[in-house]
Amino acid sequence: MTEPARAPAARIRVLLADDHAILRAGVRSLLATQPDMEVVAEATSGREAVREAERARPDVVLMDLRMPELDGVGATREILARCPGTRVLVLTTYDSDADILRAVEAGATGYLLKEAPHEELFRAVRATAAGQSALSPSVASRLVGRARAGDERALSARELEVLELVARGTSNKLIARDLRISEATVKTHLLHVFAKLGVDDRTAAVTEALARGLLRL
């Protein structure tokens, strides 16, 4: 007796969100080589990524962090709030602690660097679609290192954001404007940073953070 033919496995439906056309074309071509993946939509900004996610309802969004209109972290939050069945895999060139923490806190299932080998990308897409954490080895080691350091001494995502802006020479007033918080809140974050790093001023905080690998300029 002939066995009934098995139905083909459902493909992983992917949305590419990146403002660089060449990058999107490259990733699209790579995913096209995998029989269990298909690109169903693309977006060139964070706001467009949210719209396309609502329209296409992909399984996985490959999300860049630096995009116009709405950054990848903001887009991730909105997509996960509006599309419960969709998961986000960050695909970026940025691997600072602040970027990683902001993405993870926003709900991203995975965090992969664009320099990752092709097979690592494929594994990460499949893991993300299955709801499993998918992290680049360097990212995973950073998160483990932070955990071992102890939560009470680890800088929060917001504290790292403030410190990164300080490292770029940004004043408290401009930091407050960029992050949409008050100058008093900026000063409070900096006091917490100084205490956690064991320093007394902005310059020493940046120097210590660079030495610890918390910042990359």
Cβ atoms of 155 and 193 within 8 Å: the answer is yes
Res 3: pLDDT: 46
Task: Give me the phi and psi of 17, to 5 degrees please.
Answer: -120, 100
Distance separating alpha carbons of residues 35 and 45, to the nearest angstrom: 28
Q: Please give the domain boundaries of the chain with CATH numbers for all domains.
A: 12-146 (3.40.50.2300), 157-212 (1.10.10.10)
Give the integer Cα–Cα distance in Å for 134 and 7.
28
Under 8 Å CB-to-CB from 113, ≥6 apart: which residues? 91, 92, 93, 95, 136, 138, 139
- pLDDT at position 8: 46
H or E element: which one contains 81?
A: helix 72-82
Joined together, the tokens standing for residue 130 give: 């299955």
* Predicted pLDDT of residue 5: 45
The residue assigned the tokens 């918390």 is 214
C-alpha distances (whole Å) from 59 to each of 102, 110, 176 are 21, 13, 36
pLDDT on residue 7 = 41
Low-confidence ranges of the chain (pLDDT < 70): 1-9, 95, 97, 138-153, 216-217
The C-alpha atoms of residue 160 and residue 179 are separated, in whole angstroms, by 12
Q: Six-digit token pair at 3?
A: 């066995």
The residue length of the chain stands at: 217
Beta bridge partners of 182: none
Yes or no: say if 38 and 62 are a contact pair by the CB < 8 Å rule. Answer: no
How far apart are alpha carbons 118 and 124 in whole angstroms? 10
Contact yes or no for 16/91 (Cβ under 8 A): no
